[in-house]
C-alpha cells in the first residue's frame, strides 16, 4: 500500500482542515474490527492516520454500533468468532449493555405481521450509521492510497451482503474483472479491493470490503471532481441494509 509518511501528514482526512492539537491516531479500518485475541496472537500492526481528536471521537459510537450490529453474522470464521466472543464478553462484564440490547431488538421474527418460512427472521439495520462508517473507512483508505481527502458529504451507494445471501450483480461483475488486487494487512479480518472506472466520461469509484471472511460491503461513488450531468442530479446517500437470517 502506498502511504504518506505520518510525519508529513498535515491535514485531518475526516474534516479536511489542517491538523492542530489535540490530535489522536485513527485506525483505518477501525481497531474494533480486530478482536483482542487476534491482535494479541498475531501482534497486529494496524494502519493509523493522525486526525483531530474531536473528529475521531465523533465516529466512536457509530463504529461501536457497526461492529455490534454486524457481529451476529460474523460467526463461522476465526476472526468472526473472535469478534462475536469479544462482544459477548463485554456484555457479561456489563459493558455496552444498552447497545447490545438495541441490536437484539433489530431482529424481527414477524415483519409486518408476516411469518417467514424456514424459521427465518428479518434483521434490520440503522442504514445511515452503516453508511457513515463505511464511507469513513473508504475515506481513510483512499487517503492512505492517494494522499487525497474525500468530502464528508459525497453521495455514496452502500450495499451489505450477509452470509448466505447472493451478492449484488455489480459486485459479481467487479470480482470477475482481471487484475483487481486484494489489499489488507490481515485479510482474515478485513480485506478490500477497489478500482476507478472512467469509461464514457464518468469517474466512478468502486470499493468492496470483506469483513471477517463473512460479510461483503460495497461502496460506490462518483469522484467529487466529476462534472458529468448525472452527478448534479444525485439523490442523498443511502445504504441498502436489511437482511433475512435464520433464527
| 52 has a pLDDT exceeding 80 | yes
pTM of the predicted model, to two decimals? 0.87
At residue 215, the pLDDT reads 97
What is the CB-side half-sphere exposure of residue 122 using CA atoms within 13 A? 12
| 3 has a pLDDT exceeding 70 | no
In the chain, what are the domain boundaries?
Answer: 6-246
**For 177-200, how does the pLDDT look when each residue is reduced to its tens digit (9 = 90+)?**
988 899 998 999 999 999 999 876
CA angle 47, 48, 53 (to 5 degrees): 160
| 210 has a pLDDT exceeding 80 | yes
Containing 164, the helix (H) or strand (E) segment is none
**For 227-246, how does the pLDDT look when each residue is reduced to its tens digit (9 = 90+)?**
666 554 444 444 444 444 44
CA nearest to 53, candidates 82, 88, 26: 26
**For 152-165, how does the pLDDT look when each residue is reduced to its tens digit (9 = 90+)?**
999 999 999 999 89
Amino acid at each position: 500500500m502506498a502511504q504518506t509518511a505520518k510525519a508529513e501528514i498535515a491535514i485531518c482526512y475526516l474534516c479536511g482542515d489542517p491538523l492542530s492539537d489535540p490530535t489522536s491516531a485513527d485506525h483505518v479500518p477501525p481497531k474494533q474490527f480486530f478482536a483482542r485475541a487476534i491482535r494479541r496472537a498475531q501482534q497486529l500492526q494496524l494502519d493509523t492516520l493522525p486526525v483531530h481528536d474531536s473528529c475521531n471521537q465523533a465516529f466512536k459510537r457509530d463504529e461501536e454500533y457497526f461492529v455490534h450490529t454486524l457481529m451476529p453474522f460474523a460467526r463461522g470464521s476465526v476472526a468472526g468468532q473472535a469478534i462475536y466472543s469479544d462482544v459477548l464478553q463485554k456484555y457479561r462484564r456489563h459493558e455496552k449493555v444498552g447497545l447490545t440490547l438495541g441490536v437484539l431488538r433489530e431482529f424481527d421474527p414477524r415483519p409486518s405481521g408476516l411469518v417467514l418460512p424456514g424459521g427465518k427472521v428479518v434483521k434490520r439495520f440503522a442504514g445511515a450509521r452503516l453508511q457513515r462508517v463505511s464511507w469513513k473507512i473508504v475515506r481513510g483508505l483512499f487517503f492512505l492510497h492517494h494522499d487525497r481527502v474525500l468530502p464528508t458529504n459525497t453521495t455514496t451507494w452502500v450495499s451489505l451482503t450477509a452470509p448466505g445471501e447472493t451478492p449484488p450483480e455489480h459486485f459479481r461483475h467487479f470480482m470477475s474483472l482481471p487484475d483487481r488486487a486484494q489489499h489488507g494487512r490481515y485479510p482474515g479480518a478485513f480485506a478490500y479491493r477497489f478500482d476507478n472506472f472512467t469509461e464514457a466520461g464518468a469517474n466512478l469509484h468502486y470499493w468492496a470490503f470483506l469483513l471477517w471472511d463473512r460479510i461483503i460491503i460495497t461502496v460506490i461513488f462518483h469522484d467529487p471532481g466529476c462534472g458529468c450531468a448525472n452527478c448534479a442530479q444525485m439523490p442523498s446517500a443511502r445504504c441498502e441494509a436489511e437482511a433475512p437470517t435464520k433464527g
